[in-house]
Amino acid sequence: MIKPGSLRFSKTGFFREIKNINRKNGVIKLDITLKRQNRVLTVYLKGELDHHAVSKVKETIDLQLVKMPVSQLILDMSAVTFMDSSGVGLIVGRFNKMKSLGGSMKIKNPGFSILKVLQMSGLSRLMEIS
């Protein structure tokens, strides 16, 4: 099991994940930054969202959801350079979780190739993508 790295505070209200360098399992080429504003949690992802990286994202987000109430989860994908169906599974899982908590989820700023995977998987019909 890959443990998410610890979170570091910054004055701007952002939390940045300290790079998870695990030579044994291989470095994860994905950075996570979180921002909380009232009950809105924004997750900024940077790098490659594949099966190797998803458990780290899943654990980081799910931990936030139990820590404090969240009514909206925003996934900012502007800096995601690669995503395959592992990312789709992660998004659907978080979408269902938010729904069961009575909240909502949306995706922001996916690049061209990411949007192609999201659309082909039918996610654009499930949630707002802008």
Ligand X SMILES: Nc1ncnc2c1ncn2[C@@H]1O[C@H](COP(=O)(O)OP(=O)(O)OP(=O)(O)O)[C@@H](O)[C@H]1O
Residue 35 near which of ligand X, other proteins, none (CB within 5-8 Å, type-dependent): none
Q: Would you list the DSSP string of 21-73?
A: --TTT----EEEEEEEETTEEEEEEEEEESHHHHHHHHHHHHHHHHHS--SEE
CB of 86 to other proteins, least distance (A): 6
- From residue 52, alpha-carbon distances to 39, 114, 115 in Å are 29, 17, 20
104 binds other proteins (CB under 8 A): no
64 binds ligand X (CB under 6 A): no
85 binds ligand X (CB under 6 A): yes
Give the distance, in angstroms, between the CA of residue 70 and the centroid of all CA atoms in the same chain: 14
92 binds other proteins (CB under 8 A): yes
Residue 126 near which of other proteins, ligand X, none (CB within 5-8 Å, type-dependent): none
55 binds ligand X (CB under 6 A): no
Instruction: Using CB atoms within 10 Å of the CB of residue 115, give its burial: 0 to 12 exposed, 13 to 18 middle, 19+ buried.
Output: middle
From candidates 35, 42, 46, 48, binder to other proteins by CB under 8 A: 48
Instruction: For residues 11 and 60, give the distance between their C-alpha atoms in angstroms, rounded to a whole number.
Output: 20
Binding interface with other proteins (CB under 8 A):
25-27, 29, 48, 50-52, 54, 58, 82-86, 88-90, 92-93, 112-113, 116-117, 120-121
Binding interface with ligand X (CB under 6 A):
85-86, 88-89
